Structure 1
Amino acid sequence: MSNLIPTNSGVDNSKDSKLNTFTSLSSWMDDLFSRNLGNEFMSNFNTGMTLPAVNIKNSNDEFIVEMAVPGLKKSDFDINLDEKVLTISAETQNQNEEEHQNFTRREFGYSSFKRTFTLPETVETEKINAKYHDGILEVHLPKREEAKKKPPKTIKIS
């Protein structure tokens, strides 16, 4: 068994000894409060959905925003464009109730997330589309014609 706070076997009244004890106590307090206290308690509660991971692909013709959000339906998503800000959000609610002769059990949960992206001027906003398949949401952001990378042009000398 280890001590939480190191103790000195002998008594030393020097300033260095008091400083070391204070530093050890300070480190112990930092360790105590930097731990995730209560995770065991909170693991039994629905604390909401975390922000989903996002990949952004950049091809010659478009940007593709991929978001891993399994377990949702297409109707759970809300995708909006306001000026040059793309907002992707989802909200789900579920409720389960069981009634038996001597007891009633009722569980409910709520999850949501919201991600926003500022689009570059090169996106053709009128042609944005989205699809959801196998837990992956894809938002296709086509580039304007003038923004597409053109192949190198060889110039002949006359």
Structure 2
Amino acid sequence: MTLVKFNNGQKNYGVNPFFNDVFDTILNDTFLGDKLVSRVPAVNIAETENEFQIELAAPGLKKEDFKINLDKNVLSVSTEKKAENVEEGKKFSKREYNYTSFVRSFTLPETVDHSKIDAEYANGILKLIVAKREEAKFQTREIAVK
């Protein structure tokens, strides 16, 4: 019978522990992680008595850049912006394009009123207001003790 050693989540430092630690810090660096996360806008979602409020941080765009779709219970917000820097009268050996796009999708609960969804874009924040159905709103009442 042959015995095989498994790592079981522990680091195997081998010959030089510093060598492996350098690779761990490079691969798990927050700078690289932040770059990957920044491709989609940050979102705040709040719930009030009458509605849900979804706010997306998307600076540098115009309200015409957004496309908002509702497919059954999935609300999708997307944008596609293509800008190019062109100077007339020069021969370019290199031209730079700026292309920005993202898609964020939200699964809406059964309690929302699909006919009452509003969107507003101001100061780099896209704010979506999703109203609740009347029967889904919080009902408050006092209960008498008998």
* Shorter-chain TM band: 0.7 to 0.9
SS at match of 2:115: helix
Ranges of 4+ aligned residues in structure 1 off by more than 3 Å: 24-27, 154-157
- Aligned partner of 1:82 in structure 2 is 71
Letter in 2 for 1:75: E
Asked if 2 retains the 8 angstrom alpha-carbon contact of 1:98 and 1:106, the reply is: no
- Aligned partner of 2:52 in structure 1 is 63
Q: Structure 2: how far apart are the matches of 1:121 and 1:95?
A: 43
- Aligned partner of 1:53 in structure 2 is 42
- Larger Cα-atom Rg: 1
Alignment of 1:88-103 (within 5 A): 88-99=77-88, 103=91
- Aligned partner of 1:114 in structure 2 is 103
Asked if 2 retains the 8 angstrom alpha-carbon contact of 1:60 and 1:148, the reply is: yes
Is there any run of 5+ residues in structure 1 with no aligned partner, and where?
1-21, 37-46
SS at match of 1:126: strand
TM-score (norm 1): 0.69
How big is the shift at 1:99?
4.6
Asked if 2 retains the 8 angstrom alpha-carbon contact of 1:54 and 1:67, the reply is: yes
How big is the shift at 1:150?
1.7
* Correspondence 1:31 to 2:22: yes
TM-score (norm 2): 0.74
Match of 2:114 among 113, 125, 139: 125
How big is the shift at 1:28?
1.3
Alignment of 1:117-156 (within 5 A): 117-155=106-144
How big is the shift at 1:27?
5.2
How big is the shift at 1:123?
0.3
How big is the shift at 1:59?
0.2
How big is the shift at 1:155?
3.4
Percent identical among aligned pairs is: 44
Q: Structure 1: how far apart are the matches of 2:126 and 2:138?
A: 26
Task: Provide, for residues 117-148 of structure 1, a one-character-per-residue CA deviation record: whole Å limited to 9, x for no partner.
Answer: 11000000011111101110011110000111
Is there any run of 5+ residues in structure 2 with no aligned partner, and where?
1-12, 28-35
